Structure 1
Amino acid sequence: MGIILKPIDVVDDITQEEFMEKYLKPRVPVVIKNMARKWPAYQKWTMEYVKEVVGDVEVPLYDSKKADPAAPINTPTTKMKFADYIDLIQREPTDLRIFFFDPIKHANKLMDDFIAPKELMGGFLDKYPSMFFGGKSSVTFLHFDIDMAHIFHTHFNGRKHVKLFEHKWKERLYRLPYATYALEDYDIDNPDFEKYPALNGVEGIECFLEHGDTLFMPTGWWHWMKYLDGSFSISLRAWDKSWAVKAHSIWNLTVQRKFDDIMKSNFKNTYMEWKEKAAMKTAEMALKRGLPK
């Protein structure tokens, strides 16, 4: 059986009414082909342009290795000047990625080049655009976003492979306790079903983004991403109207994250081993109970 992936809905353009009824309210992902073609970024954002604008700002880089159990989440692997990193991902494959690059702080000029799609929905967090850069074959591990925002994720200068899973599959995806990510020991692109049987039968959505494509990811959706070329994306975030979702976001960002950091700092490998065993047990129980229903 394996993991069951269906192709994502793809539209060229979309009205607010259609977006609300088909995608926002039922929380279903969609790729919008033409949204970013109205942006100056569609033509301007080449590798050389962003390199020129950002320059020699030193940026943290992340790789695909399993996280250090004693380190806080999102601890970088190394640092590099932005311009040197852009040269690197244009020159050769690398698993090094830039994660949550802030254009307001580091490259305010880029803020003139994109427009949040407020004609589709409200609640945009205008102060928190974020950019992501990756070398060819680099991978973003399977996770959902800690702030539980809706995300409009637009890709530039290459291709990106994306797999998406509704939040209801979290136990079967081997979610780690007190975390927003899954076990890092399996490859969602080529899973070992004997070792991780709960993945067998998990249902998701798959898409391949090209230059200028915008992926709408509703709140809570798990996502795995692989850069098929050295390229980059920008994510624009918007709050869900639900106060329950907002409360979940605040819990994740405060209580859960702080507790997890304290436990990792004090108990290191012991705590991580417990988390991994708990994820395995929870997934096994979910599979036996036929969850989600």
Structure 2
Amino acid sequence: MVLSEIDVVDDITKDVFLAKYFKPQKPVLIKGLAKNWEAFEKWNLDYIAAQAGEQEVGLYDNKPADPKKATNEPVMQMKMRDYIQLIKEQPSDLRIFFFIITDKLPELLKNFSYPDLGFKYFKRIPTLFFGGSEARVLMHYDIDLGDLLHFQFEGRKRVLLFPPDQSSFLYKVPLSVHTVYNVDYEQPDFEAFPALAYAHGYEIFMEHGDALFMPSGYWHFNRYLEAGFSVTLRSFPTSPTRLIKMLKEVFLLRYTDKIMRKVFKHKWVNYKQRKAFRNSQKALQKHLTKKPD
């Protein structure tokens, strides 16, 4: 992998953000952006536990999804208070996925403001994500193809970002929004996955209060380095082309894959893994044999 440094700013105006990052769809890390919130001191695990401690939450781990089960089915349930205590006291790969603030913790809506960066937020689903110090999230892109503003709190996090045009080198699984499950992005094996060595992306380390702008369709791999959580603010697709693509992803590709998983189980998952490998190998051969300009 060829990993470049991302632009990092301490502050940014709306005009600069729109011209330099949003319109050209280029990621940027805004250091400490959440510190502008009046209730910034409440953005910690203890506050979450106090507000939502009795809620039962679904937990996920680092293992690949079981082909016999729905891809969004958690591995276990636990009270939020017990989960937070667990990840604070010991290493854990358990994480919470897509905890919608408006449904489950509306009190938190009073504790932040939407940054005025010039694009419209989809205010129905500001979403929390939690992870222990061993948790990681499979390389994927968001199916709704929205532009994302991703804030990190408490612990540090490592993020890898790749533009959509790098999909062919990332071993993208057909009819899915993720790559093959057996790629280790912390210690990549370029002999087993040679195309991966030619993928160009960014490596980012996030700290408490930082915000990362991830443009639509960007691939991202998240690795919690310490127990922590994040909130993602998103916008809907703004162009007709992107909207049509989003509807295709959500309704056609996802449900086709869901039906095939239910019918063929392991055979379907294994077929897609092999297909992803073949597709990336073809892309690699094409890249290596392409004549220079």
Q: Which runs of 5+ in 1 are unaligned?
A: none
Aligned equivalent of 1:31, options 29, 32, 51: 29
Matches within 5 A, 1:49-88: 49-88=47-86
Task: Please tell me whether residue 287 in structure 1 is matched to residue 284 in structure 2.
Answer: yes
Q: Deviations over 1:151-200 (max 9, x none)?
A: 00001111001010011111210000000000011101211111111111
Aligned equivalent of 1:269, options 244, 256, 266: 266
SS at 2:184 equivalent: coil
Q: Is the 8 A contact 1:123 1:240 kept in 2?
A: no
SS at 1:109 equivalent: helix
Matches within 5 A, 1:226-245: 226-245=223-242
Mapped to 2, the partners of 1:47 and 1:123 lie a distance apart of 28
TM-score by length of 1: 0.96
Q: Deviations over 1:245-278 (max 9, x none)?
A: 1111111111111111000000111111110111
Task: Please tell me whether residue 200 in structure 1 is matched to residue 197 in structure 2.
Answer: yes
Q: Which runs of 5+ in 2 are unaligned?
A: none
Task: Please tell me whether residue 162 in structure 1 is matched to residue 159 in structure 2.
Answer: yes
Q: Report the alpha carbon displacement of residue 72 of structure 1 after superposing the two structures with TM.
A: 2.3
Amino acid at match of 2:256: F
SS at 1:37 equivalent: helix
Amino acid at match of 1:50: I
Mapped to 2, the partners of 1:183 and 1:92 lie a distance apart of 29
- Decide which moves more: 211-220 or 68-77: 68-77
Mapped to 2, the partners of 1:75 and 1:168 lie a distance apart of 30
Task: Please tell me whether residue 94 in structure 1 is matched to residue 114 in structure 2.
Answer: no
Q: Deviations over 1:75-134 (max 9, x none)?
A: 2111100000000010011000000011111111001111122x2123211001110000
| 1:216 alignment counterpart | 213
Mapped to 2, the partners of 1:218 and 1:239 lie a distance apart of 11
Q: Report the alpha carbon displacement of residue 70 of structure 1 after superposing the two structures with TM.
A: 2.9
Q: Deviations over 1:25-65 (max 9, x none)?
A: 11111011142111134211221111001121000000000
Amino acid at match of 1:31: L
| 1:246 alignment counterpart | 243
| 2:118 alignment counterpart | 121
Q: CA RMSD in A?
A: 1.3
SS at 1:190 equivalent: coil
| 1:145 alignment counterpart | 142
SS at 1:53 equivalent: helix
Mapped to 2, the partners of 1:135 and 1:272 lie a distance apart of 28
Aligned equivalent of 2:11, options 10, 13, 20: 13
SS at 1:147 equivalent: coil
The list of structure 1 runs, each at least 4 consecutive aligned residues, that deviate by more than 3 angstroms after superposition, is none
TM-score by length of 2: 0.96
Mapped to 1, the partners of 2:184 and 2:141 lie a distance apart of 16
Task: Please tell me whether residue 257 in structure 1 is matched to residue 265 in structure 2.
Answer: no
Q: Report the alpha carbon displacement of residue 73 of structure 1 after superposing the two structures with TM.
A: 2.2
- How many matched pairs? 289
Residues 152 and 289 (structure 1 numbering): CA distance in 2 closer, same or farther, change over 3 Å? same
SS at 1:200 equivalent: helix
SS at 1:79 equivalent: strand
Q: Is the 8 A contact 1:149 1:219 kept in 2?
A: yes
Task: Please tell me whether residue 184 in structure 1 is matched to residue 181 in structure 2.
Answer: yes
